[in-house]
């Protein structure tokens, strides 16, 4: 049997698998389709800025099973495009190999590293399910503890799509955990190194974004960079130190490192340049 191997169980991997299964059914069913992903869930990643992130994933099995798609809970570690072999490793470190005739690389993207002291130790992210759940747990804890310095100040670093969405949503999320009173009093600060918010969107949507952020009571700090993150403070390039027990990094994504294993041209974000 010919083998289609799909790496990644996000929207792209799932749609590729279902479309392949559909084609396979219509052409005699001679192809085995296998998806490899470290989690047996589909994460609704574009909504991870919302409250209750634990509700934002769904099991893959009820969709893959009836379509005849095999699932391997593992991470693809190496891809040999000459030999058509992928080495995969499960959560316990057990490695196996998977052969393929056609490979679909759908391993998505991940938050790019921000080389600022304290980010790894103290900053949160909403880039993946685990990050979003950890952030939500932190919100609950910090909002219950008025004695924590900076408990009512929320700094979001990065004024792109993710940062804007989270900033606009923050007050309603604070209200869920701590009521409207604290939500109204809290500071939500969006820090962007460019001179405009949402620099990648161009001019036309900017007035709408600015209006939405204003209505949401977001303080926008433009042409500003962060130089240090601590558990209870953020320091800006000019030396200003803001007491904040919550810092979220939303400084942009890079293609999954798996793209580095495929020969070919990549753009500045590590995305493979492919044909149609
Ligand atoms: C907060 C937030 C808001 C967003 N909002 C939008 C939006 O409004 N519109 C939009 O278009 N996009 C948005 N995005 C980007 C969004 O994540 C993508 O559009 C969408 O999730 C891409 O789907 P994907 O399947 O390509 O990748 P992903 O959803 O990233 O899925 C990749 C999958 O590959 C798996 N994987 C990774 N590495 C490996 C490996 N080595 N081996 C096996 N499996 C692997 C992952 O575990 C995951 O299952 C947003 C992202 C975030 C974080």
Q: Is 125 in the pocket of ligand 1 (CB under 6 A)?
A: no
Question: Distance, CA 74 to ligand 1 centroid (Å)?
Answer: 17
Hey, what CATH class is 2-109+254-261 in?
Answer: alpha beta
The pLDDT value given to residue 2: 95
272, 255 Cβ separation under 8 angstroms: yes
Question: Distance, CA 184 to ligand 1 centroid (Å)?
Answer: 33
Using one digit for the tens of pLDDT, what is the confidence trace for 73-87?
Answer: 999 999 999 999 999
Packing angle between helix 206-215 and helix 161-185, nearest 10 degrees? 20
Domain chopping of the chain, boundaries: 2-109+254-261, 113-251
For 39, left (φ over 0), alpha (ψ -120 to 50), or beta?
beta
Q: Is 201 in the pocket of ligand 1 (CB under 6 A)?
A: no
Separation in Å, CA 7 to CA 240, 268, 270: 45, 22, 17
69, 34 Cβ separation under 8 angstroms: yes
Note whether 2-109+254-261 and 113-251 share their fold.
Answer: yes
Ligand 1 atom at shortest distance from the alpha carbon of 111: 53
Paired residues of 156 in beta bridges: 190, 248
The pLDDT value given to residue 29: 94
Q: Could you tell which of 10, 100, 205, 260 is best to mutate to test the pocket of ligand 1, judged by most ligand atoms within 8 Å of the CB?
A: 10
Q: How far apart are CA 106 and CA 37, in angstroms?
A: 10
The pLDDT value given to residue 146: 86
202, 212 Cβ separation under 8 angstroms: no
Q: What is the DSSP string of 51-83?
A: S-GGGSEEESHHHHTTTT-EEEESEEEEEETTT
Q: Is 248 in the pocket of ligand 1 (CB under 6 A)?
A: no
Q: How far apart are CA 162 and CA 170, in angstroms?
A: 12
Q: Give the predicted TM-score (pTM) of the model.
A: 0.94
Using one digit for the tens of pLDDT, what is the confidence trace for 2-48?
Answer: 999 999 999 999 999 999 999 999 999 999 999 999 999 999 999 99
The pLDDT mean for the chain works out to 96
CATH architecture designation of domain 113-251:
3-Layer(bba) Sandwich (3.50)
Q: Which ranges of the chain have pLDDT less than 50?
A: none
């Amino acid at each position: 049997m010919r083998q289609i191997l799909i790496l990644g169980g996000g929207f792209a991997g799932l749609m590729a698998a279902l479309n392949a299964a559909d084609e396979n059914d219509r052409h005699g069913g001679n192809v085995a389709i296998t998806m490899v992903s470290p989690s047996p869930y589909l994460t609704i990643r574009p909504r991870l800025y919302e409250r209750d992130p634990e509700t934002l994933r769904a099991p893959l099995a009820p969709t893959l099973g009836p379509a005849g798609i095999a699932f391997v809970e593992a991470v693809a570690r190496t891809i040999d495009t000459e030999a058509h072999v992928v080495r995969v490793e499960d959560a316990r470190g057990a490695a196996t190999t998977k052969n393929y005739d056609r490979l679909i690389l759908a391993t998505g993207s991940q938050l790019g590293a921000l080389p600022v002291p304290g980010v790894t130790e103290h900053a949160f992210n909403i880039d993946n399910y685990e990050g979003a759940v950890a952030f939500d747990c932190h919100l609950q804890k910090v909002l219950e503890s008025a004695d924590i310095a900076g408990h009512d100040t929320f700094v979001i670093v990065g004024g792109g799509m993710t940062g804007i969405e989270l900033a606009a949503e923050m007050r309603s999320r604070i209200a869920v955990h701590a009521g409207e009173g604290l939500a109204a009093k809290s500071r939500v600060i969006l820090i962007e190194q460019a001179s405009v918010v949402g620099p990648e969107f161009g001019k036309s949507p900017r007035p709408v974004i600015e209006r939405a952020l204003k209505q949401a009571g977001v303080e926008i700090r433009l042409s500003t960079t962060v130089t240090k993150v601590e558990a209870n403070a953020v320091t800006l390039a000019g030396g200003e130190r803001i007491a904040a027990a919550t810092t979220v990094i939303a400084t942009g994504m890079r293609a999954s490192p798996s793209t580095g294993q495929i020969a070919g041209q990549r753009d500045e974000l590590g995305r493979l340049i492919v044909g149609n």
